[in-house]
Amino acid sequence: MFQTHEIWDTLRMIDQEKLDVRTITMGISLFNCVCDDEKMLAQRVYDRITRQAENLVKVGREIERDFGVPIVNKRVSVTPISLITGAVQNPVAVARALDKAAKTVGVDFIGGYSALVQKGMTAADERLIRSIPEALSETDVMCSSINVGSTRAGINMDAVKLCGEMVKDLSIRTGDRDSLGCAKLVVFCNAVEDNPFMAGAFHGPGEGDCAVSVGVSGPGVVKRALENVKGQRFDEVAETIKRTAFRITRVGQLVAREASARLNVPFGIVDLSLAPTPAIGDSVAHILEEMGLERCGTHGTTAALALLNDAVKKGGVMASSHVGGLSGAFIPVSEDIGMIEAAANGALTLDKLEAMTCVCSVGLDMIAVPGDTSAATISAIIADEAAIGMVNNKTTAVRLIPAYGKKVGDEVEFGGLLGRAPIIDVHPFSSELFIERGGRIPAPLHSLRN
Amino acid sequence: MANVSKAVVSVLGVDRRGIIAKVSHVLFERGSNILDISQTILGGYFNMIMIVDIADCDFSLLMEDLQDLGRAIGVQIRIQKSEIFETMHQI
């Protein structure tokens, strides 16, 4: 029944290679909270979340204990708030209710202070986006996301312009905390409705009342497996990653199934993403380097990442009954010790990171740029990334941190899972007139698939 | 679900007299039945895997007792429900 070496393998993965489940995320629909009174809406949102997620943290801990596998975060995602605030003037009261509810149930993050504006903005969408700097600077564990483009709709450049301004505003408002607010805001193209990862998690309008989804982790396990195939051909590298990803995902599937049963909530999806942490031995960059690159970011990095991303999916897809979310390798700079090192010694630039986002999930993530970067430049970076997502039928995202008062050579330090990041340079030439135009970039020809 | 009542006890540490006896005693006291044992000593390190039946015992209390014992005799003792190993290594 059991092979002893398999048991020791599992124990080694957990102990030494930092195999963990990154998050159990409970998605909660807030449509039944809708009303036109701000206070009552906020109260209903608070009540709905605290009732539905009452046992989430407790059950998460029990599963951790029973199977001996760490579950790093417990999180909640909710219906994009702009969809439930159409009849109220100020959505910030709901932001405070979300933050308070998250703290009451004890989750690490709550996501969904969001708007989906890929084609156009309603008045409520615009109110929500404009409130983000205030909402994120006054709350602690709430995360926000905006979807500004999609393959079917094109890119809403008015929203892109606005998002750049909001990132900039947020950077200044939270300047005393290394512009931490920006780490809680992500701008998407082709956002997915069932993503369990922050900052971009929300419970899409196509979802049911409630679902639990799981995001796995395990870059350390993949790195260790690749150490056993040093010098071998890429065929062997891909096979090794697939086998490893299968095992990692099975753990996620087990946790998702247990959480669903114990919470009496439908199972949503397992997200196959390899999520790194700033801890030693938990780095996606180090996997790429293990393939033979002196430093992540050098020539060959995009190819290595493409192989990794594909093999993770192929290995993981058979291990779970429902795969979804973002499902791919993440490359958040501040959250990955190998990326931090590569960015600090100049091997990894913003342009190379942009290229890498063409072949993996998700995008330009947790990248610190100089504090004096203009709103137009931030918008232009968002537009570039959205274009990659739109044309390639994939999710892309931007989570940039213009670090207030800091310049290239400095560093920002967030601590915990968010890590630290050296400030990397942006192009000095202006994109002002480009962003000023507004309007929509039309959807590509291949969006016409019917 | 198969094997819902099984758990894996793993023990790792410097070898000394009485480890198996003490672990077995805790399992007996808590009403757990040992189904299989595999034990080796590598370079002075004691490695043991036990498959145990936990159908008739309180898993939390058993876990606490084993952890207390581990601290008392200076070895790492863990107990995990068996599904984690089955799902990872079997299709």
Domain boundaries, chain A: 1-450
Instruction: With a cut of 90, say whether residue A364 has pLDDT above it.
Output: yes
With cut-offs at 50, 70 and 90, classify the pLDDT of residue B4.
Answer: low
CB contact under 8 A, B84 and A6: no
Q: What is the 3-state secondary structure (H, E, C) of A252-282?
A: HHHHHHHHHHHHCCCEEEEEEEEECCCCCCC
Nearest to A330, CA basis, from A146, A196, A163: A196
Q: What is the mean pLDDT of residues A344-354?
A: 95
Flag the least confident range among A158-162, A273-277, A334-338. Answer: A273-277
pLDDT score at B2: 43
Residue A381 Cα distances to A26, A166, A278, A350, A427, angstroms: 31, 14, 25, 10, 10
What is the reported pLDDT for B20? Answer: 93
> In a mutagenesis test of the A interface, which of B8, B9, B48, B80 is the best target, namely the one with the most A β-carbons within 10 Å?
B80
Average pLDDT value for chain B? 91
pLDDT at A385: 97
Q: What is the pLDDT of residues A290-309, one digit of tens each?
A: 999 999 999 999 999 999 99
Strand-pairing partners, residue A422, are A411
pLDDT tens digits along A134-165: 999 999 999 999 999 999 999 999 999 999 99
Give residues 2 to 41 of A whose Cβ lies within 8 Å of B: 2-4, 6-11
| A322-328 mean pLDDT | 89
- pLDDT at position A1: 66
Number of domains chain B is built from: 1
Determine, for residues B88 and A251 on separate chains, whether the beta-carbon distance falls below 8 Å.
Answer: yes
Chain B's closest residue to A319, CA to CA, is B91
User: Chain A closest CA to B36's CA: distance in Å?
Assistant: 10
What is the SS3 assignment for A289? helix
Beta strands B6-14; B45-53: pairing state: antiparallel
Mutate to test the interface with A, among B10, B88, B89 (most CBs of A within 10 A): B88
CB contact under 8 A, A250 and B87: yes
Q: A162: Cβ–Cβ under 8 A, 6 or more apart, which residues?
A: A126, A129, A130
Range of the domain at B53: 6-89
The mean per-residue pLDDT over the stretch A258-287 comes to 92
Q: Is the dihedral of CA A76, A78, A81, A85 positive or negative?
A: negative
> Shortest CB distance from A10 goes to which of B38, B63, B85?
B85
Residue A76, min C-alpha distance to chain B (Å): 25
Among B1, B85, B86, the strongest candidate for a mutation testing the A interface, having the largest count of A CBs within 10 A, is B85
Domain contains B1: no
- What are the angstrom distances between the C-alpha of A208 and each of A41, A128, A405? 20, 23, 44
With beta carbons less than 8 A apart as the criterion, state whether A289 and A296 touch: yes
Residues A1, B49: C-beta atoms closer than 8 Å: no
In 3D, which of A342, A9, A354, A366 has the Cα closest to residue A178? A366
Higher pLDDT, A107 or A450: A107
Question: How far apart are alpha carbons B38 and B26 in whole angstroms?
Answer: 18
Between chains, do A69 and B84 touch, taking CB under 8 Å as contact?
Answer: yes
Could you tell me the two tokens for A172? Answer: 């200044």
Question: For residue B88, which residues of chain A lie inside 8 Å, CB to CB?
Answer: 6, 9-10, 247, 250-251
Tell me the per-residue pLDDT of A372-391, one tens digit each, with 9 for 90 and over.
999 999 999 999 999 999 99
- CA–CA distance, A346 with A343 (Å, rounded to integer): 5
Query: A237 vs A58, A266, A420, B88, B91, CA distance in Å?
Result: 39, 36, 30, 20, 22
> What are the Cα distances from residue A386, in Å, to A122, A151, A195, A197, A303?
20, 9, 18, 19, 21
Q: Where would I find the beta strands (DSSP E) of B1-91? A: 6-14, 33-42, 45-53, 76-81
What is the separation of C-alpha A109 from the centre of its chain, rounded to a whole number of angstroms?
12
Over the Cα atoms of chain A, what is R_g? 21
Q: Is B2 exposed, middle or buried (0-12, 13-18, 19+ CB in 10 A)?
A: exposed
**Closest partner residue to B89 among A6, A68, A253, by Cβ?**
A6
Min Cα distance A175 → chain B (Å) is 44
pLDDT band at A416 (very low <50, low <70, confident <90, very high): confident
**Closest-CA residue to A255 (of A416, A27, A72):** A72
A9 contacts on B by Cβ (under 8 Å): 88-89
Check residue B3 and give its pLDDT.
43
Domain membership of residue B17 (yes or no) is: yes
**Do B84 and A3 make contact, defined as CB atoms within 8 angstroms?**
no
Q: Which band of pLDDT confidence, cut at 50, 70 and 90, is reported for residue A3?
A: confident
Tell me which residue of A86, A202, A97 sits closest to A144, measured CA to CA: A202
Range A174-197 average pLDDT: 95
pLDDT, averaged across chain A: 95
Residues of chain B numbered 11-50 and touching chain A (CB < 8 Å): 36, 38, 47, 49
Dihedral sign, Cα of residue B13, residue B18, residue B22, residue B23: positive
- Which positions ≥6 away from A450 have C-beta within 8 Å? none
Query: Residue B38 belongs to a domain with what CATH number?
Result: 3.30.70.260
Q: What is the mean pLDDT of residues A46-59?
A: 98
- Contacts of residue A65 in chain B, CB cutoff 8 Å? 60, 63
pLDDT at A51: 98
A253 touches chain B (CB under 8 A): yes
Chain A positions touching B50 (Cβ under 8 A) are none
Contacts of B90 (CB under 8 A, 6+ apart): none
Residues of chain A neighbouring B81 (CB-CB closer than 8 A): 66-67
For residue A310, give the H/E element and its range.
helix A301-317
Average pLDDT of span A40-47? 98
Segment A199-222 mean pLDDT: 94
Residue ranges in A321-420 assigned as alpha helix (H): 337-344, 350-356, 375-391
Quick check: B49 and A7 CB within 8 A?
yes
Is A1-450 CATH 3.20.70.20?
Answer: yes
Mean pLDDT of B58-66: 95
Q: Where are the alpha helices (DSSP H) in B8-77?
A: 19-29, 59-73
Query: What would the two tokens of residue A24 be?
Result: 């159990």
With residue A122 as reference, give the H or E element that holds it. none
What is the amino acid identity at position A164? G
Note the pLDDT of residue A2.
Answer: 74
pLDDT value of residue A201: 96
Q: Taking 90 as the threshold, does the pLDDT of residue B9 lie above it? A: yes
